[in-house]
Amino acid sequence: MTLPRIAVLASGRGSNLQAILDAIAQGRLDARLVGVFSDRLQAGALMRVPPELRWSARPSSFESRQAYERALGDALAASGADWIVCAGYMRILGEALIARFAGRMLNIHPSLLPRHRGLHTHAAALAAGDAEHGCSVHFVIPELDAGSLIAQARLPVEAGDTPETLASRVLALEHRLLPAVLRLAVAGRLSERDGTTYVDGQPRFTPLTLDSLERRMPHPEATP
Ligand code: GRF
């Protein structure tokens, strides 16, 4: 059997990549990681996989952003990835690259979208006095953090929370949410058309919850 192929775009430490690797290793995700692609030569994420799975290039060494993204797109296409996951990839992707992989590119974002797009989401949630915060997985479109939502995980903001405490609690949820969504994706149950997410061929007008995903696929760290 040929396993569905996942590629990950990451700029940083790669803890979400690790969550994917762990889910594969523990038999919770029937897929194969075919590459980690980074805009930072020293990204910690690259070190989590063997050298033959690493691709990195400094965008400033290309003559234009388009040229960099053509090279990245060619490398992604060569990997044969069925699904491309942005997991802490800190650059805005251009239209041409996204169009090449339309409907197959996902992003994890540390907020309950549409609240708090962009950076510094934990500070923004605190500044807004939000009672709840969390993370979202969505399809990638050219507008930043604006593609159709697939799933969200939420938690209460506690008195005394700081951006750091929130970041660490949200990150733990990200590590559960992303593999759970990928499990649906690689099972062929997830698609996107005209800005709408479809699960099992049915349009979703509200994002799936982590609870509903884990009812289908218990996570070892999930509390009963
Ligand atoms: C995560 O919080 C992700 O949602 C955000 O950047 C962080 C990446 O963390 N966009 P890691 O590199 O996966 O550890």
Residue of 46, 92, 108 to test ligand 1 pocket, by largest number of atoms within 8 Å of CB: 108
Residue 79 marked as a ligand binder? no
Task: Say how far apart CA 211 and CA 153 lie, in whole Å.
Answer: 8
221 has a pLDDT exceeding 70: no
Q: Exposure of 146 by Cβ count < 10 A (0-12 exposed, 13-18 middle, 19+ buried)?
A: middle
Task: Say how far apart CA 147 and CA 196 lie, in whole Å.
Answer: 9
Write out pLDDT tens, residues 110-153. 999 999 999 999 999 999 999 999 999 999 999 999 999 999 99
Write out pLDDT tens, residues 162-171. 999 999 999 9
User: Which ligand 1 atom minimizes the distance to the CA of 109?
Assistant: 4
CA dihedral 17, 212, 130, 204 (to 10 degrees): 90
Res 80: pLDDT = 98
User: Which ligand 1 atom minimizes the distance to the CA of 16?
Assistant: 13
Write out pLDDT tens, residues 82-114. 999 999 999 999 999 999 999 999 999 999 999
Average pLDDT for the chain: 96
